[in-house]
Amino acid sequence: MYENQGLKNDIIYQFYHITLFDYEKGTELDELRIILFEYEDKEMYLECEGIKLAIEQIEFLQLIETIIYDND
């Protein structure tokens, strides 16, 4: 699909979506960070990038929710 095209790399894409799926199914953000560190230790950097992007998106959405609820 997106083979070797920067951020469109298949591995990054797959791990991004797997991480979002895991979060939606109840995996805590801290658990996702632990998983990220495990992949970093194994030097699996494409997988790390997908996980990192998903964590950043989750944190961003949480920040937006906090702002919205604080302004109500």
pLDDT of amino acid 7: 55
Question: Is residue 36 a contact partner of residue 48, using CB atoms and an 8 Å limit?
Answer: yes
Task: Identify which has the larger pLDDT, 69 or 50.
Answer: 50
Give me the phi and psi of 68, to 5 degrees please.
-65, -45
Using one digit for the tens of pLDDT, what is the confidence trace for 2-55? 455 555 689 999 999 999 999 999 999 999 999 999 999 999 999 999 999 999
pLDDT of amino acid 17: 96
Question: What is the reported pTM?
Answer: 0.83
Spatial separation of the C-alpha atoms in residues 53 and 70, rounded to whole Å? 26
Break the chain into its structural domains and give their ranges. 6-70
